[in-house]
Structure formats: C-alpha cells, structure tokens
C-alpha cells in the first residue's frame, strides 16, 4: 500500500511540475510580446513591462541578430496592435472579446474608449493582467476591462465569458494558433462560431496568413533577401520560449484555411490592415525608405474578418 501511495505521489508531483512548466512557457510568450510592443515605443506596453519588472528575455547578449529581430517583431506587433484598435473603432464595436492576447495594453486602450472588453486568458496571465490594470489603467479602463480565465478549447468557459458582453462582439485573436494542436484549434473555432452565432459580430485575425505577412514585414525593413532568415530566426526564438516546436505551417494556404473555416460554420473576407495610413510609434526608429515600404504594407489584405455562416 505504502509503495502504491508513493508511486501516486510521484506521478502527481511530475504532473504538477509539467503543468507549472507549461504555464511558465505561455507566460513567457506573453511577456516577449510585451517586450516587442514596448520596443516599438508604445507607452502603455512600456508601463506594463516596467510594472511587472521581470528580467528581459532577449537582448543583444543572448540572441544573435538581436537588433534586426527586435525591430521586425516590434513592427509586426505594433501593426497588429494598431490595426485591431483601428478596426474596432472604425466599426464602433461596443464589445470586444480579446482572446489569448496575453497582458493587453490594447484592452486597456479600448476600455478607456468606453467599450466593454473581456480578455480571455490563462489564469496566471489573468491575475497579472488584473493587477496591471488596477495599477496603470484609467478609471474608465478599470471599469470596462475584465480578465477572465478559460481555455480556448473550453466551450462553456468561452461562452460564459462572452455572455458578459451585451450585443455584437468583435473578437480579436492574433498569434495563438501556432501554439495549438489540431484538435484544440478545431475546438476553439467551434467555440468562436457558437459565440458569433449567439452574439453576432465578427472575429479579426491575421493567423491564416501570418507566415507571409511576417515575412513581408521583415522584407519591408531589411529587403527580400533577408526576410526568410529573419522569419526563421524569430521562429527559433519562439520555439526556445515555448520549449517545443510551433506549428507555423498550419492553414497558411488560403483555400485550405477557407475550407477549414467552412467546416466550422465560418466564412472569411480579407481586408486591408488599415483604411488610412497609420501613425505608428515605431516610425521614429525607421528610415524614410523603411516607412514608405511599411506604408505600402498597411494597405494589404492581411486582416481576415470572420463571421458565422
Ligand atoms: C504569444 S501569446 C499570443 C500573442 C497575442 N495574442 C498577440 O497579439 O500577439 C499566446 C497567448 O496565448 C495564451 N494561450 C496559449 N494557449 C492557450 C489556451 N489553450 N487557452 C487559452 N489561452 C492560451 C497564452 O497564455 C499566451 O498569453
């Protein structure tokens, strides 16, 4: 009996350690994203980073080609961040469901606009997110933004969170797909379809073209000849953070992605990232030639607007 209990205890310990490591990985990926947004010069992201006061993961001392990787990722993240804010404001969505967005300066800004924002994340990120909001959010943002913890594959959890929003929702999701297994991704899209059917509205994402989009961002800064290298270096960096392979090939073919969405009762239309030339913070760090190339990028249809069939 004693031996049996010891085996059970050991197994439990292993599971707990594995789970803890899993949480650490996702928290790391959340923090790295914040690092890029801060590097782009977004004041809200800089405030989050200062507040959580954790060691910065990547720097010139531990990552080859750091300067180029940082600038490319900072630009990519700011484009996503600003495009989502512009879309929500342009369509004047009163409700935003920000999925797996990690610590979200974007939620804080949209909450400050007076919109209701639910951030869906893992519990450890939610605890940190709530605290950051209390510390650096405006009164309006604190009132309007709420972090709620659920797994993306949790049908009831996602619906319960969405039900706190009254009226049409704009779901924002960016960059999580590469971390998910096929079955979790499929379940997440089933859940999103259910939310859109019940509440109306849309989901915006660039996940179905992220590989091309990121490579184009790198090319705008450092030329076509360097873009594949920067993509691969960034991928290797995220795999290091994540501690596992990421599935960046999934659903990058447009027809395959549209079929996948159809299977889950969804349909997509592609729209430009921005409807007018954005004033990005990162422009202060770019040359006039780079800015011109970035401005060309902002008119491309990297944003997928997904609705229920
Ligand atoms: C790299 S971040 C995503 C980046 C962010 N959405 C963006 O705009 O770039 C991945 C986030 O997804 C969350 N996440 C990963 N797997 C999840 C799951 N199964 N359910 C809920 N959240 C998850 C992690 O906590 C992490 O904050």
- The reply to whether ligand 1 has any atom less than 6 angstroms from the CB of 33 is yes
Q: What phi, psi does 134 have (nearest 5°)?
A: -60, -40
The CA 297 to ligand 1 mean position distance, Å, reads 25
pLDDT, tens digit (0-9, with 9 covering 90-100), for 72-102 = 999 999 999 999 999 999 999 999 999 998 8
CATH top-level class for 2-308? alpha beta
pLDDT in the model for residue 30: 75
Is there a contact between 191 and 152 (Cβ–Cβ < 8 Å)? yes
Which residue owns the Cα nearest ligand 1 atom 5? 101
- The reply to whether ligand 1 has any atom less than 6 angstroms from the CB of 151 is yes
Written in H, E and C, the secondary structure of 204-237 is EECHHHHHHHHHHHHHHHHCHHHHHHHHHHHHHH
In sequence order, the 6+-apart residues with CB closer than 8 A to the CB of 253 are: none
Least confident of 106-110, 115-119, 225-229, 248-252: 248-252
More confident call, 183 vs 52: 183
Atom of ligand 1 minimally distant from the CA of 81: 8
- The reply to whether ligand 1 has any atom less than 6 angstroms from the CB of 122 is yes
Which residue owns the Cα nearest ligand 1 atom 27? 102
Q: In this model, does residue 10 exceed pLDDT 90? A: no
- The reply to whether ligand 1 has any atom less than 6 angstroms from the CB of 241 is no
The CA 197 to ligand 1 mean position distance, Å, reads 23
pLDDT in the model for residue 17: 46
Say which DSSP state 176 is in.
-
Give the Cα separation of 61 and 168 in Å (integer). 47
List the end-to-end C-alpha distance of the chain, in Å, as a whole number. Answer: 57
Least confident of 4-8, 64-68, 140-144, 231-235: 4-8
pLDDT in the model for residue 27: 65
Average pLDDT over residues 103-121: 96
Which residue owns the Cα nearest ligand 1 atom 1? 29
- The reply to whether ligand 1 has any atom less than 6 angstroms from the CB of 100 is yes
Is there a contact between 107 and 96 (Cβ–Cβ < 8 Å)? yes
- The reply to whether ligand 1 has any atom less than 6 angstroms from the CB of 125 is yes
The CA 266 to ligand 1 mean position distance, Å, reads 21
- The reply to whether ligand 1 has any atom less than 6 angstroms from the CB of 102 is yes
- The reply to whether ligand 1 has any atom less than 6 angstroms from the CB of 176 is yes
Atom of ligand 1 minimally distant from the CA of 121: 22
C-alpha dist (Å) from residue 221 to 20, 34, 207, 228 = 38, 21, 21, 12
Give the Cα separation of 220 and 109 in Å (integer). 28
State which of 32, 79, 102 you would mutate to test the pocket of ligand 1, scoring each by most atoms of that ligand within 8 A of its C-beta: 102
SS3 92: coil
Mean pLDDT (the chain, rounded):
91
The CA 112 to ligand 1 mean position distance, Å, reads 23
Which residue owns the Cα nearest ligand 1 atom 11? 100
Is there a contact between 71 and 105 (Cβ–Cβ < 8 Å)? no
User: Quick one: pLDDT band at residue 59, thresholds 50, 70, 90?
Assistant: confident
Indicate the domain borders of the chain: 2-308
Give the Cα separation of 151 and 27 in Å (integer). 14
User: Quick one: pLDDT band at residue 7, thresholds 50, 70, 90?
Assistant: very low
State which of 96, 122, 172 you would mutate to test the pocket of ligand 1, scoring each by most atoms of that ligand within 8 A of its C-beta: 122
């Amino acid at each position: 009996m004693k031996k049996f209990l010891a085996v059970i205890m050991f197994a439990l310990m292993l599971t707990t350690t594995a789970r803890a490591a899993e949480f650490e990985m996702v928290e790391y990926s959340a923090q790295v994203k914040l690092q890029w947004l801060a590097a782009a010069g977004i004041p809200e992201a800089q405030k989050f980073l200062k507040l959580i006061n954790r060691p910065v993961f990547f720097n010139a001392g531990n990552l080859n080609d750091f300067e180029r990787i940082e600038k490319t990722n900072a630009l990519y993240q700011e484009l996503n961040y600003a495009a989502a804010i512009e879309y929500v404001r342009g369509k004047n969505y009163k409700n935003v469901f920000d999925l797996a967005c990690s610590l979200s300066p974007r939620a804080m800004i949209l909450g400050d606009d007076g919109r209701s924002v639910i951030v869906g994340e893992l519990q450890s990120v939610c605890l940190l997110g709530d605290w950051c909001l209390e510390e650096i959010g405006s009164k309006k943002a604190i009132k309007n933004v709420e972090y709620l913890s659920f797994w993306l594959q949790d049908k009831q959890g996602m619906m319960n969170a969405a039900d706190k929003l009254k009226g049409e929702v704009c779901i924002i999701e960016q960059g999580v797909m590469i971390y998910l297994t096929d079955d979790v991704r499929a379940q997440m899209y089933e859940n999103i379809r259910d939310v859109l059917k019940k509440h109306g509205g849309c989901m915006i994402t660039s996940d179905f073209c992220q590989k091309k989009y990121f490579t184009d961002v790198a090319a705008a800064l450092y030329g076509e000849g360097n873009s594949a290298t920067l993509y691969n270096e960034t991928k290797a960096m995220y795999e290091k953070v994540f501690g596992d392979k990421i599935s960046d090939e999934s659903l990058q073919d447009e027809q395959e992605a549209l079929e996948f969405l159809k299977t889950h009762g969804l349909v997509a239309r592609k729209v430009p990232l921005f409807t007018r030339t954005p004033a990005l913070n990162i422009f202060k760090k770019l040359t006039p030639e780079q800015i011109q190339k970035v401005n060309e990028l902002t008119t491309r249809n990297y944003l997928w607007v997904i609705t229920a069939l």
